Amino acid sequence: MYSTAFLDIPALATAGGSVQLPGSKSISNRVLLLAALSRGTTTIHDLLDSDDTRVMLDALRALGCGVEDDGQATHIAGLGDTRPMAAQTLFLGNAGTAMRPLTAALALLGGEYTLDGVARMRERPIGDLVDALRQLGCRIDYLGSEGYPPLRINHAEGVPTLELDQPIRVRGDVSSQFLTALLMALPLVADTQEVAVEVVGELISRPYIAITLALLDRFGIAVENENWQRFRIPAGSRYQSPGSIHVEADASSASYFIALGSIAPSAVGKKGIKIQGVGLDSIQGDIRFVDAARAMGAEISGGPNWLQVERGAWPLKAIDLDCNHIPDAAMTLAVMALYADGPTVLRNIASWRVKETDRIAAMAAELRKLGAGVEEGPDFLRIIPPTAAQAWRAASIHTYDDHRVAMCFSLAAFNPAALPVRIEDPRCVAKTFPDYFETLFSVVQAAAQVPVICIDGPTASGKGTLAAQVAQRLGYRLLDSGAIYRVAGLAARGAGLDIAPANAVTIANLARSMALRFDGAQVLLAGVDVSDAIRTEQAGMDASRVSALPEVRAAVIDVQLAFRSLPGLVADGRDMGTVIFPGALLKVYLTASAAQRAERRHQQLLARGLDAKIADLRADLEARDARDMTRSVAPLKPAQDALVLDNSELTIEQAVDQVLAWWQQRQPFAQSAAG
């Protein structure tokens, strides 16, 4: 998962391959709570691992549920007839799928609880649910603004006598989560009499209620649905664990890859996008996004647990659609509309106003940044796509701590102007799809070369540390070319080979077969951490000798080039900008005085419990510089277009900031978004 301040997605051109989707957030948190309220232990397979589910699991543990994860499944020991641990304060982040149902369930279970969340949660209305629970006789207080969390449930002496003779009335036009919360909680008090819920006004987001009803049935509660206006929970209802249950992949998350297949030409040798984990028979209402994508021209087939999507009509066809049946997935249609042949209208989306952010306002603002015309109403959006490639604009997308904004706008990178797109705060996708961007990058190809930053310089100039931190700040892959040669030298010594021209071909073959991986500060060879072994003075000398062998250099170049992958690469070495990536967008030649480099190397050795004379270190560095600068193959020197950075008097933070500032100057985004 990317945890950078922003993520720059280069212009994308094609897509192809297969993706496995994570479990549905809506199903995952419902199943967790139902398992907690049931008798017996429930084994949950394919549970979503996300911020929202972690919040719910933490809450269930605090309430006294047994929670165990064995790496294959999650096991929930239900409360059954026992009462949860009382006098709890539960922090529920921005998870509406935890806040709303837990409020209702705890109000009917008894105890004293405080429920709170992040600042945005305190802006998400809950008053209609609280009003419905107060109708029953529950005692719930607002601790802040009326109608919004945080809440306190005051049942320290047990649940008061409840008014169950009349239907509980709840508005249906604000959030379906209010009705879901009641339907999941009321079986707790329906043991001796039937309980009814009556919807006031139109019920929005019916598909999410359908998910709730289907899951209630799996846990032994057969709710009678009277035309989506009244729901009856039979007397004698009691939760019982189904024993084992599988969580479907998230149909809302599928929408991004359905859209991807609809927008992107297939990569060479590929046949669109195959989506695994959810199929045309899904119980989730958002699977009907398939119908909307087909209406826009996509070619989609599917079966149990899979979908296949290819681009059909191009440009996409504009649509005018009532989106009440796909409230979350409809956000993806707003970005697909950028590629349509005319204005697209998305209607009946008033529920967007009370989600993680005001999604109508957010989508309108970010679509305009890209060059679209947008008309915004209380419950609709009208999107007029950019009229030509030159009308598109590079945009830094503000994500409002909303996972769906981040994910759907990543698709704007397929714009015909071949402009990059910046996604601010990419970590927000952790709410439902932590590995979204990694999954996206696994099936897309860039329109041009993936961006590269080269940081070259002499030994002990600090280029490795600088490159690692720049890569971390940008979310780019890291190539430590020096480590490749050091590992090759280590492998040669391990094989008993003298590093000399006579053994060059054998060493080159060793280099080609190295299973090398960089994991942060670690260097792994065939899964073994060799970070310390390749940082010795001897390893450094071996690397210099190995890199002077033309056969080894030829073998290593292909390894180095293969590191260039989305979203970008930071490569450090001695010839990254001159030989390996001559077309890199930014080349930095990092230098420092020999005295300063010797002092830094001395401090590094002391930190590792080693000692050496600074004068000797300096002499070694100067000798190595001379050898590297005069070698016949790729001698050490700055690229003609490199920017020289002398960091003799700079901290690492200052050096990183300077490189990032140079990088921002080469980007088309507003400087204020640099983070």
Q: How many CB atoms lie within 10 A of CB 375?
A: 12
Q: Which of 173-177, 544-548, 578-582 has the highest mean pLDDT?
A: 578-582
- Identify the helix (H) or strand (E) that includes residue 537: helix 537-547
141 phi-psi bin (left φ>0, alpha ψ -120 to 50, beta other): beta
| More confident site: 630 or 427 | 427
Q: Which residues contact 119 (CB under 8 A, 6 or more apart)?
A: none
Nearest to 32 by CA among 53, 12, 14, 51: 53
pLDDT at 673 over 50: no
Specify which residues 310 forms β-bridges with.
299
Contacts of 308 (CB under 8 A, 6+ apart): 261, 271, 272, 273, 274, 275, 300, 301, 302
Catalytic, 641? Answer no
Q: Quick one: average pLDDT of 217-223?
A: 96
CA distance 370 to 393: 5
pLDDT for the residue 599: 75
- Name, in order, each residue with C-beta under 8 angstroms of 575's C-beta and a sequence gap of 6 or more: 456, 481, 634, 636
Residue 591 CA from chain centroid, whole number: 37
**What number is the average pLDDT over the span 36-55?**
95
Q: How confident is the model at residue 670 (pLDDT cuts 50, 70, 90)?
A: low
Lowest mean pLDDT among 45-49, 144-148, 159-163: 159-163
What's the Cα-to-Cα distance from 526 to each of 490, 522, 543, rounded to whole Å? 13, 13, 19
Lowest mean pLDDT among 457-471, 567-581, 587-601: 587-601
Residue, of 521 and 351, whose pLDDT is higher: 351
Please give the torsion angle defined by the CA atoms of residues 111, 114, 117 and 121, in that order, rounded to the nearest 10 degrees: 90
- Range 303-330 average pLDDT: 95
C-alpha pair distances (Å), 188 with each of 91, 107, 221, 595: 23, 10, 10, 75
Taking Cα atoms as reference points, which of 326, 314, 334 lies closest to residue 351?
Answer: 326
Which pair of structure tokens corresponds to residue 112?
């004293």
Per residue in 320-329, pLDDT (tens digit) is 999 988 988 9
First and final C-alpha spacing in the chain: 18
**Of the ranges 10-14, 346-350, 595-599, 651-655, which one carries the lowest mean pLDDT score?**
595-599
pLDDT at 672: 39
- Mean pLDDT along residues 626-654: 85
Of 30-34, 457-461, 487-491, which one has max mean pLDDT? 30-34
Tokens of 44: 């949950």
Query: By the 8 A CB rule, do 477 and 10 touch?
Result: no
Q: Which of 128, 250, 286, 328 is catalytic?
A: 328
Beta strand residue intervals within 492-637, DSSP E: 516-519, 522-525, 528-529, 569-573, 586-591
Give the contacts of 226 (CB within 8 A, at least 6 positions apart): 232
C-alpha 627/C-alpha 650 separation (Å) is: 27
pTM of the model: 0.84
User: What is the dihedral angle through the alpha carbons of 33, 36, 41, 47, rounded to the nearest 10 degrees?
Assistant: 30
Question: Cα-flanking dihedrals φ and ψ of residue 609, to 5°?
Answer: 80, 20
Angle of CA points 336, 337, 343, to nearest 5°: 170
Q: Nearest CA to 26 among 404, 376, 525, 357?
A: 404
DSSP class per residue in 280-346: TT-SSGGGGHHHHHHHTT-EEEEETTEEEEE--SSSBPP-EEE-TTSTTTHHHHHHHGGGBSS-EEE
Assign 92 to helix, strand or coil.
coil
Residue for token pair 């985004």? 669
254: its two tokens: 């599928």
Phi, psi of 77 (to 5 degrees): -85, 110
Task: Quote the tokens at residue 385.
Answer: 């796509």
Could you tell me which residue, 602 or 584, shows the higher pLDDT?
A: 584
Q: Is the pLDDT of residue 629 over 50?
A: yes
pLDDT reported for residue 632: 65
Q: Reduced to 3 states, what is the DSSP secondary structure of residue 17? A: strand
**DSSP label at residue 141:** E
Helices (H), 413-462: 436-441
Task: Answer yes or no: are the C-beta atoms of 48 and 434 closer than 8 Å.
Answer: no
**pLDDT in the model for residue 631:** 67
- Calculate the average pLDDT of the chain: 92
Integer Cα distance of 387 and 302 in angstroms: 34
- Residue 147: the pLDDT is 96
d(CA 573, CA 400): 38
What is the per-residue pLDDT for 674? 40
Q: Between 7 and 675, where is the model more confident?
A: 7
Cα distances (Å, whole numbers) of residue 352 to 250, 254, 340, 358, 575: 19, 19, 22, 6, 52
Lowest mean pLDDT among 74-88, 130-144, 355-369, 636-650: 74-88
Nearest to 28 by CA among 15, 47, 11: 47
